[in-house]
């Protein structure tokens, strides 16, 4: 369900912020280290810019780009030359031009040189690709889709709610070519997040995960247990089974297993997104939706497929978003609004938190069993 008139304009600009629980200890990233700069830098040459849109770059920016094209390695393992050489010699690597185009956009955006290299490697280095075990995670979209998006999200995180809309929009942009897999992560500061995750697992056992997933995000400010029960009942679930599954040890183990997996991947906040096994640095998608769309389009092309035409629903959503964006606040105002949303969510969580010793009476089953404890960072 696309709701572009709600806060889709925020989606297109604010997702780099994310939800987190500071301070968080550093976590080891299991990804192999990227290959880094090319081992033998080629002389800088403007021949490398052939075919790259540099119309918006200043003379200084063009010089910076040419110099970095001579230092960064080609993204293709079988093309062991600098990116600039790959371009000027028209090597067979299909990633050289898209990579150079992306680097040019980073230069134009004013990203420092070291930051550009880090972002480029995360986006294009083959060593940065992870094998993500999906297990029993709920998914939607064709099993053979050329693009698989894996998301770890928190039902109480406002940025995750925005990402939900962005991902739905991308599925409409490339109908039939995107598969979305959902993983659970409940931040300790979000009082209701784990209950939401447990409820979603219970709903999945009755084939209604995505329906409850939407209900929880749409009603993000109302996630008390009685609210969750009401949403579940509205989906015509077998409520006795739902309550039993909510309380089940295997349900808690499932949620905590997803969280442990994300910790192993270096999660620092939610949402955590992977596209075809490659981590998405949300702060590097600027403008957010345009860069995300370009990423998926390239993945589809690399799979030997023709990107699908956008659905009518997508076109209508974007038309409404463009209208709403005319009154979009400045980046500073946007950040202020997001902080206000987070403060409201925290205040709501604090006000509704059960007092010490009351956990046993808060079970959705009324059985007196204690609620699942929040995971500490």
- Identify whether 363 is part of a domain: no
SS3 203: helix
Question: Where a domain ends, among 95, 128, 161?
Answer: 128
Average pLDDT over residues 201-225: 97
Give me the percent of the chain exceeding a pLDDT of 70.
Answer: 81
pLDDT above 80: residue 38: no
pLDDT above 50: residue 5: no
Considering only residues 172 and 17, tell me which one the structure prediction assigns the higher pLDDT.
Answer: 172
- Identify whether 330 is part of a domain: no
pLDDT above 70: residue 206: yes
Which domain range does residue 307 map to?
4-29+131-325
pLDDT above 70: residue 37: no
Q: Residues with Cβ < 8 Å from 347, sequence gap 6 or more?
A: none
Question: Where a domain ends, among 71, 103, 128?
Answer: 128
Model pLDDT, residue 348: 63
C-alpha gyration radius of the chain: 22
Helix (H) / strand (E) element for 163: namely helix 158-173
Distance between CA atoms of 338 and 15, rounded to whole angstroms?
10
The number of distinct structural domains making up the chain is: 2
Average pLDDT over residues 189-214: 97
Question: Where a domain ends, among 128, 162, 194?
Answer: 128
Across the chain, mean pLDDT equals: 84
Distance between CA atoms of 286 and 100, rounded to whole angstroms?
16
- Identify whether 373 is part of a domain: no
Tell me the two tokens of residue 176: 């039939």
Model pLDDT, residue 349: 61
Model pLDDT, residue 369: 29
Alpha-carbon separation of residue 154 from 250, 253, 298 (angstroms)? 19, 16, 28
CATH number, domain containing residue 196: 3.40.30.10
Average pLDDT over residues 36-43: 44
Same domain, 66 and 195: no
Distance between CA atoms of 87 and 285, rounded to whole angstroms?
24
pTM of this structure: 0.79
Altogether, the residues listed in the chain come to a count of 377
Considering only residues 366 and 81, tell me which one the structure prediction assigns the higher pLDDT.
Answer: 81
Alpha-carbon separation of residue 221 from 155, 196, 230 (angstroms)? 10, 12, 14
- Identify whether 341 is part of a domain: no
Same domain, 116 and 136: no
- Identify whether 315 is part of a domain: yes
Burial label for 174, CB within 10 Å (0-12, 13-18, 19+), is buried
Alpha-carbon separation of residue 337 from 17, 20, 234 (angstroms)? 12, 17, 32
**Band of the pLDDT at 136, cuts 50, 70, 90?**
very high
Same domain, 102 and 147: no
Model pLDDT, residue 324: 81
Q: Which range is least confidently modeled, 15-19, 65-69, 86-90, 123-127?
A: 15-19
Chain centroid to Cα 186, Å, comes to: 15
Give me the percent of the chain exceeding a pLDDT of 90.
Answer: 69
Residues 20-34 pLDDT 10s: 765 444 444 433 333
Q: Which range is least confidently modeled, 174-188, 298-312, 329-343, 345-359?
A: 345-359
Same domain, 136 and 263: yes
Residues 243-289 pLDDT 10s: 999 999 999 999 999 999 999 999 999 999 999 999 999 988 988 99
């Amino acid at each position: 369900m696309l709701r572009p008139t709600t806060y889709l304009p925020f989606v297109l600009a604010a997702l780099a912020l994310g939800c987190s629980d500071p301070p968080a200890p550093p976590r080891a990233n299991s990804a192999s280290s990227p290959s880094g700069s090319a081992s033998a830098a080629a002389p800088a040459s403007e021949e490398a810019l052939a075919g790259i849109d540099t119309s918006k770059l200043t003379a200084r920016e063009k010089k910076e780009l040419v110099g970095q094209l001579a230092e960064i390695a080609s993204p293709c393992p079988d093309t062991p030359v600098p990116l600039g050489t790959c371009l000027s010699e028209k090597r067979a690597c299909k990633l050289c031009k898209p990579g150079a185009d992306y680097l040019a956009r980073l230069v134009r955006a004013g990203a420092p040189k070291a930051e550009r290299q880090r972002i480029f490697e995360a986006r294009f280095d083959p060593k940065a690709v992870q094998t993500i075990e999906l297990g029993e995670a709920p998914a939607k979209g064709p099993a053979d889709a050329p693009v698989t998006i894996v998301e770890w999200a928190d039902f109480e995180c406002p940025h995750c709610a925005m990402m939900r809309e962005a991902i739905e929009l991308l599925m409409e942009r490339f109908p039939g070519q995107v598969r979305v897999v959902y993983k659970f992560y409940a931040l300790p500061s979000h009082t209701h997040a784990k209950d939401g995750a447990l409820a979603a697992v219970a709903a999945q056992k009755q084939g209604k995960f995505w329906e409850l997933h939407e209900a929880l995000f749409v009603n993000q400010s109302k996630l008390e247990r009685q609210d969750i029960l009401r949403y579940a009942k509205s989906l015509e679930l077998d409520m006795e089974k739902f309550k039993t599954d909510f309380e089940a040890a295997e349900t808690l183990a499932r949620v905590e297993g997803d969280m442990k997996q994300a910790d192993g991947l270096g999660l620092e906040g939610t949402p955590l997104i992977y596209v075809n096994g490659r981590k998405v640095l949300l702060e590097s998608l600027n403008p957010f939706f345009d860069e995300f769309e370009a990423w998926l389009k390239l993945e589809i092309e690399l799979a030997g497929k023709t990107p699908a035409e956008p659905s009518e629903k997508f076109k209508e959503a974007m038309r409404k978003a463009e209208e709403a964006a005319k009154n979009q606040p400045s980046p500073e105002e946007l950040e202020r609004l997001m902080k206000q949303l987070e403060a409201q969510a925290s205040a709501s969580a604090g006000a509704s938190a059960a007092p010490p010793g009351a956990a046993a009476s808060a079970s959705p089953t009324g059985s007196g069993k204690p609620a699942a404890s929040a995971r500490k960072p």
